[in-house]
Amino acid sequence: MPTKNFDIAQKITIETCPKRRLPVDSIRLFAGIIERKAYNKGDIILAEGSVCHAMMYVEKGLVRQYYFKNGKEMTEHISCEQGVVICIDSYFNQHPTQLIVEALEDTVIWEIPYVAMEKLASEVHDISYLYRHFLQNSLILSQVKADMLRFESAKDRYTKLMQHSPEIVRRAPLTYIASYLQMTLETLSRARASIVASEQ
C-alpha cells in the first residue's frame, strides 16, 4: 500500500472522528479502498445523469456541486480542502444524479467507493463508526445550511459563511457564492458593503 494512502486515510479519520482515534489496522483497511484522482480547473468530476459511486474527500482545490433549475445554474455546495463531497441520494440509491460536480481550481480528491465502504463497514466496527460520522457530518452540514437559508438575513448568511468557510469566500467566484446563499449578486454586494461599513 502506498504511504500516501495511509497518510491521507489517517488524516481523514482524524478530521471525521476527532473524539476517537481509530486503530492503525483499521486505518490501513480504509487506506486500502481509497483512490486518488486529480482534476484540472473546469473539469467535470461528476456529470448530471451519472451515478455517484464514491464520496470524495478534497485534499487540494475547490469543488462546486450545482444543478439546473429553469435553465439557470444553482449552486448546491462549495467545498475546499478537508471537505467531503457526496451526492447523497445517488450515492445510497445508486441511481443517476441531477447534481453536477465541477473543479473550480486544479483539484486533488480521494474517492471513498460506495461498494467497498459498505462492505468494510459491515465487517469492521471501527469503519462502521467512521462511516456513520461521514454521514452524520454531512447531515449536520445540510441542516445548518437549511436553517441559515430559512431563518437568516442575507447579511447574516454571508457573515456566517465568512466565519465558517473563509477560504470559500476568498477563492470562489462571487456569482457562485450568491447562488449558494440563494441571493442575487446585487443583494450579496449590499451585504458585503454593509459588513465593511459596520467594521469601520
Q: 173 pLDDT exceeds 70?
A: yes
Residue ranges making up the domain that contains 21: 3-151
* Residue where one domain finishes, among candidates 130, 151, 172: 151
What pLDDT does 34 receive? Answer: 97
**Alpha helix stretches (DSSP H) within 152-180:** 154-164, 166-171, 174-180
- Which CATH number covers residue 27? 2.60.120.10
* Tens-digit pLDDT profile for residues 99-144: 999 999 999 999 999 999 999 999 999 999 999 999 999 989 889 8
Do 67 and 91 fall within a single domain? yes
Percent of the chain's residues with pLDDT above 70: 99
- What are the residues whose beta carbons fall under 8 Å from the beta carbon of 6, sequence distance 6 or more? 27, 28, 31
pTM for the full predicted model: 0.92
- pLDDT(197) > 80: no
